[in-house]
Amino acid sequence: MLSQNKFQHRTWVEISKNALLKNLGTFRKVVGGRVKLAAVVKANAYGHGLEEVSKIFEKGVDFFAVDNLTEALKLRNLGITKSILVLGYTKENALKVALENDISLVVYDKNILTRIASLKYPKKARVHLKIETGLNRQGVKILKLLPLLKIIKKNERHILVEGAYTHFANVEDTIDSSFAYRQFSDFKRALKLIRESGIKSKYFHCAASAATLLYADTHFNMVRIGISLYGLWPSKETKIAFNLKGGKVSLAPALSWKSIIAQVKKVKAGESVGYGRTWIAPRDSLIAVIPVGYSDGYDRGLSNNSRVLINEQYAPLVGRVAMNMIMADVTEIRSVKRENVVTLLGSERGTSITADELAERIGTINYEIVARINPLIPRLVVD
């Protein structure tokens, strides 16, 4: 059953609760009972709906990971009491708000650490040290780690190192593990420095979805699972490498994106459809107008370069994707009517359009396809 009445919407996203829980169960089996699981729900839960997904995962995960304080506070406002880690930057003037809401923060800068300590909050600030090992985004390089550790030791009354972690740069894009293991080695060197400084950390984590599937020795005592909790493989290379290792995991895509037909119209041979007249009807055609476009997250690069599902059949997109409309050629589909359901992404009785397919058509990754679906579009939870 839908958690809302889908028929009031022109376009909506359906999220399968069963698929999400199946994927969670799969990763619980992969990592075993001793490894904590952090569900990464940043970017509106990779487009799946922060509120909807977090409520489904609340009882089954140990941690939530988000990008920013706004997302973290939304989870707290939902009544979620599980640990929450902000992976991205938190502005100095918002640090106190984070502490007041028992939110863990990433740290890699001595100025931020000093600022946190200066707040002298009654409860220790929980922080995760981000170690730079080769991705060269945010993080502290090992050569500059000791000054941070000294600040932490000096302010142990106010700062608790809850975790230490890093992030791999090249696991998803290759089946060659050499660079990943170079990073892994550097991370272990950093952990040794942390231990030798006398600082005790509860969690160590470096594996996201791909590394969790491919390299069991990188699990430590916590993993961060994002894209694959939603039933999507991080990349073709990840799936190939996993299969070469003899792995057997089935991921269940949890998201379907749907709309309706707003109008069905006849177009004569030689007439054009859409802006720029980029598609000319080669024959008398039947065109379905669908009220969704690039403002909803349906990429303009899919113009004349995609397909939708109507009545369990594929209908090619014709003409340019506009801000709020796309058109499909339904000449070969029987019994097409106004307000028929259109599947933009998802399955209909054995036929499907996947995020990987759409990503390949426009030269991007499945992450972007789902994460860019407009958050204002309703997310409806289905079984």
Classify domain 35-244 at the CATH superfamily level. Answer: Alanine racemase (3.20.20.10)
Q: What is the pLDDT of residues 44-90, one digit of tens each?
A: 999 999 999 999 999 999 999 999 999 999 999 999 999 999 999 99
Model's pTM, two decimal places? 0.95
Region 150-177: mean pLDDT is 95
Annotate 108-137 with b (16+ C-beta within 10 A) or e (fewer). Answer: bbeebbeebbeeebeebbbbbbbbbbbeee
The token duo for 305 is 């370069």
Q: Is 275 a catalytic residue?
A: yes
Q: How confident is the model at residue 2 (pLDDT cuts 50, 70, 90)?
A: very low
Average of per-residue pLDDT across 264-268 = 98
* pLDDT tens, residue by residue, 114-141: 999 999 999 999 999 999 999 999 999 9
Predicted pLDDT at 69: 98
> 255-382: CATH homologous superfamily?
Lyase, Ornithine Decarboxylase; Chain A, domain 1 (2.40.37.10)
pLDDT reported for residue 8: 78
pLDDT for the residue numbered 1: 36
Residue 163's closest CA among 78, 105, 100, 96? 105
pLDDT at 333 over 80: yes
Q: Are 140 and 109 in contact (CB under 8 A)?
A: yes
pLDDT at 6 over 60: no
Q: Which residues pair with 327 in a beta bridge?
A: 289, 318
Q: Which residue has tokens 């170690």?
A: 131
Q: State pLDDT tens for residues 34-55.
A: 999 999 999 999 999 999 999 9
| Of 108, 36, 52, 45, residue with least CA distance to 71 | 45
Residue intervals in the chain for CATH 2.40.37.10: 255-382
Catalytic-role residue among 144, 153, 266, 275: 275
Residue 105 confidence (pLDDT) above 80:
yes
Q: Residue 104: count other Cβ atoms within 10 Å of its Cβ.
A: 24
Which whole-number Å values give the CA distances from 246 to 214, 232, 243, 252, in the listed order? Answer: 10, 19, 5, 19
For residue 42, indicate whether it is catalytic.
yes
8 Å CB contact between 274 and 318: yes
pLDDT, tens only, 348-364: 988 999 999 999 999 99
Q: Which of 153-162, 169-178, 204-213 has the lowest mean pLDDT?
A: 169-178
Residues of the chain with CATH 3.20.20.10: 35-244
State yes or no: pLDDT of 372 exceeds 80: yes
- Marked catalytic residue, from 36, 42, 130, 258: 42
Say yes or no to pLDDT of 174 above 80: yes
Query: Above 80 in pLDDT, residue 4?
Result: no
